[in-house]
Amino acid sequence: MLRCFRLAMLFAISIVVQPAAAQDSLCKRLGGGDAISAVVKSFLMKMRTDDPDKLGRFWLYRGSDGVAREEQLIVDFVQSATGCDRLYVGRDLGPAHKGMRLSSRDWERTFNFLKATLEEYKVPAALNAEVVALVESTRGQIVECETSQFGCP
């Protein structure tokens, strides 16, 4: 009887001293770095191949090496921001986009591409909302004017 009591006490103590299980990172819940890389690349392909008078205008005459570098930096950024074991060594988003004259209309279209990509990869609703919130949090550093046109006047 005493033995059972001791065992029960040991069990109870072991529960108390266990650290609370932290929730897995968004990176892990999204399927890891490779899954994130695939989603980001698909999203960027939509941006790059958009109409030349819409978002495609930014990639009209870009060298392929520069585009590959930018793609890798964006993958790194998202992996790092979602808690993958990845160091982002690119510029802050503000200076990186300053002067591109990105408008709220550009942002809206970007978001439509983002949502379409998340649907394509069947990202569950709760995770989808977390990704959208993460990207939305960067808006202030990227959008330079509120207008219904592509680009700022």
Q: Which residues bind ligand HEM (CB under 6 A)?
A: 55, 58, 66, 70, 73-74, 77, 90-91, 93, 96-97, 102, 106-107, 110, 135, 138, 142
| Cβ nearer to ligand HEM, comparing 94 with 124 | 94
Question: Residue 31 or residue 73: which is nearer to ligand HEM going by CB?
Answer: 73
For residues 46 and 106, which CB has a smaller minimum distance to ligand HEM in the complex?
106
Q: Which residues pair with 145 in a beta bridge?
A: 103
47: which 2 tokens?
A: 């941006």
Taking the complex as a whole, the smallest distance from the CB of residue 73 to ligand HEM amounts, in Å, to 4
Phi, psi of 72 (to 5 degrees): -65, -40
For the bound state, the minimum distance from the C-beta of residue 126 to ligand HEM, rounded and expressed in Å, comes to 20
Q: How far is the CB of 32 from ligand HEM (least distance, A)?
A: 19
Q: Which residue is nearest to ligand HEM (CB)?
A: 90
Cβ-in-10-Å burial (0-12, 13-18, 19+) of 35 comes to: middle
To ligand HEM, the closest distance from the beta carbon of 51 in angstroms equals: 13
d(CA 102, CA 144): 6
Contact 78, 40 (CB under 8 A): yes
**For residues 143 and 103, is the Cβ–Cβ distance under 8 A?**
yes
CB of 47 to ligand HEM, least distance (A): 6
Decide whether 135 or 145 has the Cβ nearer to ligand HEM.
135
What CA–CA distance (Å, rounded) separates 33 from 62? 27
